Chains A and B, each alone.
Chain A
Amino acid sequence: MLRVKQEIIDEIVEHGRSEAPLEACGYLAEKDGVVCKCIAMKNIDASPVHYSMDPAQQFGAIRSCRAEGLAIRAVYHSHPETAAHPSAEDIKLAYDPALSYVIVSLEESSPTINSFIIKNDKVSSEQIEIIRAEKMTTTITADVFQNLRGIGCPMNLVKTKVAFSKMQSGQILGLILDNGPPINNVPRSVIREGHEVLSQEQLDDGAWSLLIRKA
């Protein structure tokens, strides 16, 4: 099983696309069992059907990985026009059985990515687990809250300004504003005064809930 961070998958695809129609190649380095670095290498063959790495660049990559506490985990390359399976040449040139061989196919509009273990010219498929970054769900809570339901313009803005005047810079004001002119006008005015609207969402009754950071 090859465990790869989502952003590394994205980098591999991006590298492949940037080199197309030539093949792109590089190393994947891991830490704590997860591939967390994509090292793009130069394809000195500059060919659409095969690749070779520059030995000097290879040594450099290995050295810098060691310095960063990373280990080379896989070799990747792209197939700009063909499927994500090793060619006869890929198999022949897979010298290191300890590494995985990752191939990204760009023949379809949505890329396919596969990993293989190649031992003694024998190819076996390796499962890839994509590790997605934990969803950032920090809850922001208001320091001061004002329910301005039923309060029209401009008194809703007056009350908002009064609330801000009693707050410290950086504190968060929670507001409930009516739909219509209030939601159209109040955020615009507070932004003009330099405050930052962090979020704005409509509630079931049509009113809006806002979080605003005081400038």
Chain B
Amino acid sequence: MIDFTEEQLERYSRHILLDDVGVDGQEKLLQAKVLIVGAGGLGSPAALYLAAAGVGTIGIIDSDSVEISNLQRQIAHFTKDIGVFKVDSAAEKMQAINPDITVRTYKEYLCAANITKIIAGYDFIIDGTDNFPTKFLVNDACIFTGIPFSHGGILRFNGQTMTVVPGESACYRCSFREAPPPDAVPSCAQAGVLGAIAGMLGTIQATEALKYITGVGELLTNGLLTFDARTLTFRKINLARQKSCPVCGEEPSITHLVDAEQSVCELKSEPVAAPC
């Protein structure tokens, strides 16, 4: 049992007061480890809220530096941070909100070669990446290691998210077999994105992480939540685990991690794990 300091009691009082979270839930949060993949549009709000919530160890991985075009939606980064590594910029804000927590930064591009080592030991992963190859890589690695994660994506006015508990619920590949061909789907850099929807989706992902850690409520598993900000319409599409799933099905064809092909133009313009 953690002996909360007076400062911690005040800091986390609104969690402790919640019947379903309480002292036990806050203790779980302080002991939890969450990895955020991508310090961009989705990763920024998720990182700030998880830090504020007192998630004891937060890892954040991104190989990019802050650019001025990021600031319209990547709220962990300020104008002064242009040129700074995104993970350093995000870590500074997280520690400023809550010096109580430990932030681990990874200035790397997540790929098949390093993902297993990086995600090991984390309780939950937030996928805030901006590209399909990495999304599938995160899914497959989480299935192999049994780490639950929240998938998220945004484009233009739309967002989508689902939570995957490996071995229990539908995985990303159960519904989306493989990454679309390079350039089949435009990136944020090409199609644009309404800045605030990054906050809408990233905070849903943070909420799922907090729910998973504290055991409150029901996770967004076996369902894809989508929204269209223009009409502010939310839909929840029911999904089910597929026996034929190439990674979590009965006879998986994917048995080891590989890096999918990445669009060449994307690699140039918006390098790798930089999320929208």
Give residues in A with beta carbon < 8 Å to B: 154-155, 157-159, 161-162, 164-166, 192-193
Contact = CB atoms under 8 A, between A and B. Distances in A.
B23 interface: yes
A161 B22 contact: yes
Interface stretch (B13-21, B44-52, B142-150, B239-247): B13-21
B19 A158 contact: no
A158 B7 CA distance: 12
Contacts of A162: 4, 9, 16, 23
Residue of A155, A161, A166 ringed by the most chain B CB atoms within 10 A: A161
11 contacts: A154-B17, A155-B9, A155-B13, A158-B9, A158-B13, A158-B16, A159-B9, A161-B22, A164-B23, A165-B24, A166-B1
Contacts, number: 28
Contacts of A161: 16-17, 22-23
Contacts of B259: none
Among A157, A158, A162, A166, max chain B CB count under 10 A is at: A158
B10 interface: yes
B23 A157 contact: no
Contacts of B13: 154-155, 158
B19 A165 contact: no
Interface of B: 1, 4, 9-10, 13, 16-17, 19, 22-24
A154 B16 CA distance: 10
Of listed B10, B17, B24, residue having the most chain A CB within 10 A: B17
Contacts of A158: 9-10, 13, 16-17
Nearest to A159: B9
A165 B1 CA distance: 9
Instruction: Give the top 8 A-B pairs by smallest Cβ distance, nearest first.
Output: A165-B23, A158-B13, A158-B16, A158-B9, A162-B23, A154-B17, A161-B23, A161-B16
A193 to B, nearest CB: 6
A155 B4 CA distance: 13
A31 B10 CA distance: 63
> Which of B4, B23, B24 counts the most chain A CB atoms within 10 A?
B23
A155 B13 CA distance: 7
A157 B15 CA distance: 12
B19 A193 contact: yes
A155 B23 contact: no
Nearest to A166: B1
Contacts of B1: 165-166
B213 to A, nearest CB: 17
A133 to B, nearest CB: 41
Nearest to B12: A158
Contacts of A157: 17
Contacts of B19: 192-193
B7 to A, nearest CB: 12
A161 B21 CA distance: 11
A181 to B, nearest CB: 14
Contacts of A193: 19
Contacts of A155: 9-10, 13
A193 B20 CA distance: 10
Nearest to B4: A162
Q: Which of A154, A162, A166, A192 has the most CB of B within 10 A?
A: A162
A56 B22 CA distance: 67
B212 to A, nearest CB: 21
A150 B23 CA distance: 22
Given A158-B16, A193-B19, 8 more contacts: A154-B13, A155-B10, A158-B13, A162-B16, A162-B23, A165-B1, A165-B22, A192-B19
Nearest to B1: A166
B20 to A, nearest CB: 11
Nearest to B22: A161
A52 B19 CA distance: 65
Contacts of A164: 23
A158 B23 CA distance: 9
